[in-house]
A and B are shown apart, each in its own frame.
Chain A
Amino acid sequence: MTNITVSGLKKGGALGYLRPATVEEAVAALSARRSTVLAGGTDLFPARVGRPCDEALLDISGLAALRGVAETERGWRFGALATWRDVLCAELPPLFDGLKAAARQVGGVQIQNRGTIGGNLCNASPAADGTPNWLALDATVELASANGTRCLPVAEFVRGNRRTARREDELLVAVHVARPAHPARGTFRKLGARRYLVISIIMVAAVAEFAPDGTIASARIAVGAASEVAQRLPSLEARLIGQHPDPSLVREKDLAPLSPIDDVRATAAYRRDAALTLVRRAIADLA
């Protein structure tokens, strides 16, 4: 390990800053004591304005195994430390056009250069732009702990506003996307009240696989910022099968899984209304 410092015990636990070089060391440290994981810091530091970081930190930025985007035998592996910029620069098929569009719209370039896909998922903000994309990609997360690794669909991983299925001794290692059976295309639509650096009022990610005749073989549509956790729209996904992408196939009742709230960014009624429009536009994008 590099730079191990433990500054002694104070109320509530051991303190310090660890920056391990291997996953084994990292998960050992996580099971030894409660720590906050630190990746790109773009969610962690803003939550600590005006006060010191007074908790034990496990800085995972030195874990080479968590970096990069790679094609694997069964699909693609996105290391938890892959930044939005890494996603943008990776050579990926049209399946990932939505994910790339999201990467281009996360924060400004500074945030894209530092923010990681793992941090975005683990932070579990209802407005996280990654989450609906991973849902539309039917992605799986790989978690590691001292007891081994386990995989979970993203839908089971993100549980609520700032809640995930990650145990305190676990590290998110990677996100996996399986290679689809058919040629596939993705899209992403984000709505905010200004051009750059904007938290989504609503966003929609969609992925469709196409049969040889150009009709939809399967589709996954997810809406974010309209409920505690981004939601898929199963009734719409079912209706799209066998059809060409056509926005008029979208019905208002397809949005039943959403439960938007009023907040500083918009009213609940508006979110529902805008979600319908964006879902329609996302379907049109797939054509």
Chain B
Amino acid sequence: MRSPALPHRFLVNGRDVEAIAPPAMRLSDVLRDVLGLKGTKVGCDAGDCGACTVLLDGAQVCACLVPVAQVVGRSVETVEGLAHDGRLHALQSAFLRHGAAQCGICTPGMLMAAADLLRRVPSPSEAEVLDALGGVLCRCTGYRKIVEAVLAAAHGGAAADPAAGSAVGARLVRVDGVAKVTGTDRFGADAFPERAWLTLRAVRSPHAHARFRFGDLDAFRRCHPGLVAILTADDVPGTNRFGIYPTGKDQPVFAEGYVRMLGEAVCALVGDAETVAAIRDEDVPISWEPLPPVSFDDALAGAAPDLHPHAPGNVLCRGRVACGAADSALASAPYRATIAIETGFVEHAYIEPEAGYAERIGDGIEIVACTQTPYMDRDEIALILGIPPERVRIVPTAVGGGFGGKLDLSLQPMIAIAAWRTGKPVRCVYTRPESMRTTTKRHPARLVAEAGCDAEGRLLAFRFHGDFNTGAYASWGPTVASRVPVHAMGPYRVPNVRATTAAIYTTDTPAGAFRGFGVPQAAIAHEALMDALADRVGMDRLEIRLRNALRRGDATATGQVLDHSVGLVACLEALRPRWQALRAEAEAYNRSAHGPFRRGVGIACMWYGIGNTALSNPSEMTLGLKADGTVTLYSGAVDIGQGSNTVMVQIAAEALGVSPQTVRLVAGDTARTLDAGKTSASRQTFVSGNAARLAGLDLRRQLLALTNAGTSARIVPIPGGVEIRDGERTIRPDLSRLAADANGDVLVGFGRFDPPTTALDADGRGVPYATYAFGAQIALVEVDLELGTTRVLRIVAAHDVGRAINPTLVEGQIHGGIAQGIGLALMEEYIPGRNDNLHDYLIPTVGDVPPIEVVLIEDPEPLGPFGAKGVGEPALIATAPAILGAIEQATGVRVTRIPATPDRLRAAILAARS
């Protein structure tokens, strides 16, 4: 039991407060739960993420590591204290202007760390900024825009505000930006009403593979007066199964006597927060019978027992694309290269752990939680509760980073069942270790690839097989298995291809969706082959890519002819001068180098099909006009930090012909918006953006028809209504005589878009995606040959995005993707049960992301909204292969076991010497 609550007096943002709390309670919890100041965020409770950074007597500290007893009589400053009299602090406005807040979960901590610096050092150098922010992690931005913003706030260099009225193509400040920089945005754990005090905590398996039986749970519950319920599989009202694919629902909410992974939920404790936190899993009467775990090696060797009855040999599914005659073409190719690559699990490491609450309302359920996919959540919860989807309402909170990891259900089924059974609202917040142990990861891959070319470097054939460890449950395994073969040869013209994949069950953490669905792993293989072929043929590494780059009119391996928006050549040509300059710079450095440091430059290309693979994935949106002239966009697209809220508003405004400032937004509530599909597959700008555009056009058409105006008429919002200016004519329609719908809208424009694709045949032939994003990146690295450490010194990225609806947001996506690519290449590998925290699992800090140059190529996609495609996932795919190629240039060794940690790189350097 904790010590009783005592009063603690201290200053918060200059105000005297008295907080009644146990003396050892973390200051972060006191600020949030006792004083109601939710601007201070909690990402780990362990000092690792810095999201909770506040100032204590003016110095930055992690509030999660400070017992409230130690702040008595002292001064605490939080993000809520930055703005004064409704005016933003210079740092806050700089963060807005520079796009330094994406999801915004790290923003309060970043701002406070920066505020500490600027008070001590009013005019800091970049190095001082890095040192000051080194203790706050950001997973979205790649830090560069944050550093820029802090420097700008200090030195006063204001970026120009976007001109009012400009929509598409403008550097519009995020529509949800002010909430993010003031700490008022509500994330999963910020949204709890007081009545949702009942807390759920899952009891989880300590074994990767085991059978189990419960003892007397009723007696156990009676021993703990604070426990309201213990929920098991028997309490699931509907089906105790969920999963992404309708035919592949293989994951139980609560295990049924058998677990296939460490941390699998076996039951859940529901009670007051203190009671459920105080009970240790070991105290719950469960008898375990551990079974041998099934590793990736075991499963591949076929030696393991089947984990699922529907998957003989533990093969979840296979994928294949074939054209021409790969074997014979390879056999006769004048130049050949082969590579085997192995990658590990990668954790999304969004700074916001899963959180939410559920409430039973009559015969329906309402879930307020962070999610990337409200409509899929709704349908799955309906099946689990055994009720129709219309009785499930999903209200997404702001999402503190997703990257694919919040596409799958996590705590939603458990809180839904708990609220359903107890009739009371129930909350749950995952701890960082729980989040890391139990939610999906990037698939570990074992790849073997071979490519052949002629003496001019023209690709003749490509052969690829990839095995992907999908872990205990299917999740997005089938997506990876089907997406990878299409992309496996890279964005090149190859006449003869065979690319196959398999997704394999093991008793590891489930692997699911993570920015790129297996394509980043495959790119490491195909780009290593391009480097090797270039060297063999004696060609420049950029030029060989240019020679083979897909161009307009080329056919892909699936037989799809690319008619539009194939901007890879433009990307490579834009990079060429930088490539030559950086290579010369690195060579000069190495010539004069003494000591252990060597530099290298690498280049890599990527492509990425936008939207689901050969599956319908429509989005629908509405744009409403009220009698008073208010325009509201109802968007079901969830903004997970990438900026879709802003992009949708810009597109709808442009289509309607008004300034984006006049469009209000209602986002992502399944009761008020239409289905805009998932925030995944880089599809929101392209697919949902099109729906927003069509909704805008539809509303425009209706409004112009109402006033008999011509198609070029201007729509001008005026106080109390709208004005239509058609040449000499100005019309003010009397909107109040039109009937209003439930939202109060008198005219509603509707838009629906489903990207045109076809099913693929047995050889993977067809049109899997309506359009593709292309890109190429250069990395300059410095390797310490004696220690095997790699520092990335610069990245130059060229991306064909079709059209940059908002260049600041596009750059933000590219920066963030590059930071994750650096992590993938150099430091990130999750090992189930061994590094489920953010100090053993390393993601890049502000000091690990170098200056980034971005070149935006706009080869418009006629199908896209104003020519736009997507950029979310494409951003990270080329980074790791470019870095690995650069390391090879610097050291002469190709690292094939990823990440290239210092010990692996050093071992490879030593092996190459002996």
Contact = CB atoms under 8 A, between A and B. Distances in A.
A114 B61 contact: yes
B902 A193 contact: yes
Given A7-B4, A45-B65, A53-B2, A109 B60 contact: yes
B134 A197 contact: yes
Given A194-B848, A264-B834, A277-B787, A113 B65 contact: no
Interface of A: 3, 5, 7, 10, 15-17, 19, 38, 40-42, 45-46, 49-54, 57, 59, 61, 85, 107-111, 113-114, 191, 193-199, 201, 264-267, 269-270, 273-274, 277-278
Given A113-B59, A191-B789, A266 B116 contact: no
Nearest to B2: A52
- Chain A CB count within 10 A is highest, among B56, B130, B134, B827, for B134
21 contacts: A10-B1, A17-B3, A38-B67, A40-B65, A46-B65, A46-B839, A51-B278, A52-B2, A53-B2, A54-B1, A54-B278, A59-B67, A109-B113, A109-B132, A113-B59, A114-B61, A194-B848, A195-B130, A196-B130, A197-B137, A267-B903
B48 interface: yes
Interface in B249-296: 274, 277-278, 280
A270 B69 CA distance: 44
A274 B909 CA distance: 13
Contact of A270 (B50, B130, B906): B906
Interface in B1-25: 1-4, 6, 22-24
B277 A52 contact: yes
A17 B69 contact: yes
B901 interface: yes
A266 B70 contact: no
B761 to A, nearest CB: 45
Contacts of B2: 7, 15, 52-54
Given A3-B6, A50-B434, A110-B47, A196 B846 contact: yes
A194 B842 CA distance: 8
Contact of A114 (B22, B62, B596): B62
Contact of B3 (A7, A38, A45, A278): A7
Given A51-B277, A51-B278, A52-B2, A264 B61 contact: no
A266 B278 contact: no
B131 A109 contact: yes
Nearest to A108: B135
- Chain B CB count within 10 A is highest, among A15, A57, A110, A266, for A110
A59 B23 CA distance: 10
B660 to A, nearest CB: 37
Contact of B50 (A19, A61, A108, A191): A108
B316 interface: no
B902 A274 contact: yes
A245 B908 CA distance: 31
Contact of B135 (A19, A110, A269): A110
A50 B436 CA distance: 13
Contacts of B903: 201, 266-267, 269-270
B65 A41 contact: yes
A110 B61 contact: yes
Q: Which 10 A-B pairs have the closest CB atoms?
A: A108-B135, A195-B847, A196-B134, A270-B903, A46-B46, A50-B431, A17-B23, A196-B845, A266-B903, A53-B24
Contacts of B902: 191, 193, 201, 266, 270, 274
Given A51-B277, A51-B278, A45 B47 contact: yes
A270 B788 contact: yes
A50 B53 CA distance: 19
A118 to B, nearest CB: 15
B109 to A, nearest CB: 9
B471 interface: no
A16 B67 CA distance: 13
A111 B135 contact: yes
B839 A197 contact: yes
A45 B22 contact: no
Contacts of B837: 49
Nearest to B117: A109
A50 B45 contact: yes
B901 A266 contact: yes
B65 A265 contact: no
B294 to A, nearest CB: 22
B855 interface: no
- Chain A CB count within 10 A is highest, among B56, B132, B433, B845, for B845
Nearest to B70: A61
B840 interface: yes
A50 B277 contact: yes
A264 B431 CA distance: 21
B135 A196 contact: yes
A198 B827 CA distance: 12
A45 B835 contact: no
B835 A264 contact: yes
Given A45-B45, A109-B132, A267-B903, A15 B1 contact: yes
B22 A17 contact: yes
A279 to B, nearest CB: 12
Nearest to B433: A49
Given A3-B23, A45-B46, A191-B789, A114 B835 contact: no
B395 interface: no
Nearest to A39: B70
B662 to A, nearest CB: 42
B845 A194 contact: yes
B66 interface: yes
B3 A194 contact: no
Contact of B847 (A19, A52, A196): A196
Contact of B23 (A19, A42, A109, A199): A19
Contact of B907 (A50, A197, A270): A270
Contacts of A85: 59
B152 to A, nearest CB: 21
Given A50-B277, A52-B278, A191-B787, A113 B60 contact: yes
Contact of A109 (B6, B116, B787): B116
B885 interface: no
Contacts of B431: 49-50
Contacts of B217: none
B510 interface: no
B472 interface: no
Contacts of A40: 65
B64 interface: yes
Interface in B432-461: 432-434
A110 B60 contact: yes
A103 B184 CA distance: 35
B839 A45 contact: no
Given A5-B23, A195-B845, A110 B62 contact: yes
B734 interface: no
B786 interface: yes
Nearest to A265: B840
Contacts of B847: 194-196
B134 A108 contact: yes
A111 B23 contact: no
B136 interface: yes
Contacts of B4: 5, 7
